[in-house]
Amino acid sequence: MVRDLADFPRPVLAALAAAERLLTRRFGATVVLADPEDLGGSARSVVARARVARNPFSMPRTLVVKHYLSEPEPDRPDPFHYEVASCQLFTALPAEVRTSPVIIAHDSDARLLVLEDLGRSSTLADKLFGPDPAAAQRDLLSWARALGRMQAATAGRENDFGALLRRLGERAWRDPVADDARAALAGLPDLLESALGVRAHPAAIQQAHDTARLLGGTRYRAFSPSDTCPDNNLVTSRGVRFVDFEWGCFRDVALDAAYFRVPFPACEASFALPEGMSEAMLEAWRDEIASVWPDLDDPTRLERRLLNAQLLWVWLCTWWLLPRILVRDTMIGPDAGRSPRISTALADYWRRLGEAAAAEGLDATAQLAVTVTGALRERYTDAPAVLPLYPAFRNAAG
């Protein structure tokens, strides 16, 4: 049954009307969109699917419209510009290596994008919270392969991305978490001492500071969506596809590959992976990037880079999340069924870091991790001691 347009929220209808004007202007003939489907979006934007009801050209049958509702913050990068530039970068790539929707049109004044519709696909989060462990495992491996394919395809294209951003009015660009990461490296020792009574040894602080080189101009840089949480990855018939590039950037590939070690760090859906899954994802990813960075096929070199990235993420996640539990130890995200307790997540991040650091001889970091894990568990005794598996794997594990 076709719903009356009056049933739809006004922002969705406004987005469709703006898209019709943009497409009509772009193609020189009237384009009519119908049957909108609200895809959720966020507080910053409206995202909707619509059927192309009338057009004189061979346009797709459906499109996705994303309309940014608010103006950018003064003196801050504009996420609309980053998303447009990111989609333009991927649209220029061959279809076989493209891991994102094609951009069809955009309007900077209206803050509007019209994108290829990747279909009514489940997200990776849906699979991880679903009933099928085999499907969840396949899709995690597909996600790892897609990440590696995206990085291999965009290696050496940072100047192209910069040129696209300059055309949109951005004068400078960088990893949006870099400033927070540097703040974490500077401020976390004091926060750990004041919040948990844990004093970081100078050697552990130095080992953390050594990871800052990943934030600079390494020779292993490629495009990153920056936010690759499970909700932002669609599972399609052509494999996993990435969406939402509001903070797209170029950065060291190890920072995204470390998501295998710190499962989707600080994401709302940050649960544990089953035994052996991280290693399998790493192999799938490495198969895709080996032709571009053959030296990362050296297990020793790769392991140290991944450990540094893991260490940096754990410090950054602690910097973000620890102040929240000083007020209340709640879930990372708003949905208690799809998000872990903050104290549990942090304790698990530090426990895993301690094990990895000990194996690689970073004794000061390993000791700090043991101390922080113990302090969190002692203070938050009612929280689960270990990060639970994603629901798709719980019954199989039991």
Q: What is the CATH number of the domain that holds 268?
A: 3.90.1200.10
Question: According to the model, what pLDDT value does residue 75 have?
Answer: 76
Q: What are the pLDDT digits (tens) for 324-375?
A: 999 999 999 988 889 999 999 999 999 999 999 999 999 999 999 999 999 9
Q: Is residue 89 part of a domain?
A: no
**Cβ atoms within 10 Å of 75's Cβ, excluding its own:** 5
Q: Which residues of the chain have pLDDT under 50?
A: 1-2
Total count of domains within the chain: 2
* Residue 65 and residue 35 share a domain: yes
* Residue 268 and residue 379 share a domain: yes
* CA–CA distance, 344 with 384 (Å, rounded to integer): 6
* Residue 110 and residue 178 share a domain: no
Question: According to the model, what pLDDT value does residue 6 have?
Answer: 55
* Residue 374 and residue 246 share a domain: yes
Question: According to the model, what pLDDT value does residue 277 have?
Answer: 97
* CA–CA distance, 104 with 232 (Å, rounded to integer): 20
* Residue 361 and residue 284 share a domain: yes
Q: Is residue 90 part of a domain?
A: no
Domain stops at, among 116, 145, 169 = 116
* Residue 369 and residue 313 share a domain: yes
Q: Is residue 91 part of a domain?
A: no
Expressed in percent and rounded to 5, the helix, strand and coil fractions of the chain are 55, 15, 35
* Residue 218 and residue 152 share a domain: yes
* Residue 384 and residue 245 share a domain: yes
Q: How far apart are the first and last CA of the chain?
A: 43
Query: What is the token pair recorded at 55?
Result: 């057009």
* Residue 152 and residue 38 share a domain: no
Q: Is residue 279 part of a domain?
A: yes
Q: Which domain holds residue 40?
A: 5-74+106-116
Q: Is residue 239 part of a domain?
A: yes
Q: At what angle do helices 202-209 and 363-379 cross, to 10 degrees?
A: 110
**Cβ atoms within 10 Å of 71's Cβ, excluding its own:** 9
Q: Is residue 81 part of a domain?
A: no
* Residue 55 and residue 190 share a domain: no
Question: According to the model, what pLDDT value does residue 41 have?
Answer: 66
Question: According to the model, what pLDDT value does residue 337 have?
Answer: 84
Q: Is residue 88 part of a domain?
A: no
Domain stops at, among 116, 145, 174 = 116
* Residue 146 and residue 33 share a domain: no
- Contact in structure between 382 and 344 (CB atoms under 8 Å): no
* Residue 127 and residue 60 share a domain: no
* CA–CA distance, 84 with 165 (Å, rounded to integer): 8
Q: Which stretches of the chain are DSSP H helices?
A: 10-27, 79-91, 124-128, 133-154, 158-167, 178-196, 202-209, 253-257, 277-289, 299-327, 342-359, 363-379, 391-397
164: number of CA atoms within 13 Å, CB side?
20
Q: What is the dihedral of CA 30, 34, 38, 42, to 10 degrees?
A: 10
Q: Is residue 186 part of a domain?
A: yes
Question: According to the model, what pLDDT value does residue 385 have?
Answer: 84
Question: According to the model, what pLDDT value does residue 135 have?
Answer: 96
Domain stops at, among 92, 116, 140 = 116
pTM of the model: 0.93
Question: According to the model, what pLDDT value does residue 147 have?
Answer: 97
